[in-house]
Amino acid sequence: METEKKLRLIPNPVHMYLRPHKKFPHIWCPGCSDGITAGSMIRAIDKLKISRDELVMVSGIGCASRLPVYFDFCSLHTTHGRPIAFASGVKMANPKLKVVVVTGDGDATAIGGNHFIHACRRNLDLTVILFNNNVYGMTGGQYSPTTPKRAYAATAPYGNYEPSFNIPKLAIAAGATFVARGTASNARQLESLIAQALQHKGLALVEVLSICPSVFSFYNKCGNGAQMLTQLKDTTITVEKANELRAKGETVEKWEIGILHKEENIDEFSAYYAEHAGKDRTPFSMHMSTLDL
């Protein structure tokens, strides 16, 4: 009984970061995992003691992109597919800021795909939290670049025939220097991954495998939120466990979660630009050091 009383006195850090004047309940559907991810994000920020004055949240359009509206940070709720473009401008204007992009699979890899690729290429110091629920949830249930083959959607009534993006592989190939994948079914691990991404100097991506019990499940009969979270847990495996299985010659057929790629001491664009722009007049020569092979 005493333990319960003490636990009730411990404040939930999420509550300290809410905008009190916003109307609740929020926009997300019952069973949606976006709230779980929001909690992991805020606990990571609180754990690192990042000041509200030091952090800017930028989002586009979609279910996940509503998140910054509810949290008490300087924030930009921008146009569809453009949050990384706006975030790039914020970071270049004030490199001292910690800039976090909240986006979805459609927002970031369909209409915003070009911005995503080139932010990775530049290794600009942004933390991109990409909620991947495999569908356009808010805008009507259309299939997205991550909708699995043979899954159904409003625009795929006979099943999706297109191969889907592997977002971490896309980010790594484009030049991102920190790439991780977490899930809404493992909030503590996700909190740790986000905290590490926030501390990384360079483009840091955390893909969050999410669920959509309202729209995706409507077309694909996946059950309610609790059932979908269980399915998500059953279809994922930690990077460490996957490596153990591969070392034994076994095949890994699950989504790997954890840190998938990390590079240190790579030029970060805003710092490199501030140091060299307009100063380096050395004639360019096609030397091996200038080529990314």
Over the stretch 214-241, which tens digit does the pLDDT of each residue have?
A: 999 999 999 999 999 999 999 999 999 9
Order of strands across the sheet that contains 178-183: 74-77, 55-59, 98-104, 126-132, 204-209, 178-183, 255-262, 236-238
What CATH number is attached to the domain comprising 259?
3.40.50.970
Report the distance separating Cα 134 and Cα 152, nearest Å.
11
The pLDDT value given to residue 193: 98
- Whether the pLDDT of residue 292 is over 70: the answer is no
Does residue 191 form part of some domain? yes
**What are the residues facing 86 on neighbouring strands?**
none
Q: Are 133 and 231 in contact (CB under 8 A)?
A: no
Total domains present in the chain: 1
Characterise 248 by phi-psi region: left (phi > 0), alpha (psi -120 to 50), beta (else): alpha
Give the range of the structural domain holding residue 219, as residue numbers without chain letter. 26-279
- Whether the pLDDT of residue 7 is over 50: the answer is no
Does residue 291 form part of some domain? no
Does residue 100 form part of some domain? yes
- One-letter amino acid at 106 equals G
Mean residue pLDDT of the chain comes to 90
Does residue 274 form part of some domain? yes
The pLDDT value given to residue 139: 86
Does residue 19 form part of some domain? no
Q: Report the pLDDT averaged over residues 242-249.
A: 94
The pLDDT value given to residue 95: 94
The pLDDT value given to residue 234: 95
pLDDT band at 143 (very low <50, low <70, confident <90, very high): very high
The pLDDT value given to residue 21: 77
Supply 264's token pair: 């240190």
Does residue 14 form part of some domain? no
- Whether the pLDDT of residue 291 is over 60: the answer is no
Does residue 142 form part of some domain? yes
Does residue 125 form part of some domain? yes
The pLDDT value given to residue 42: 94
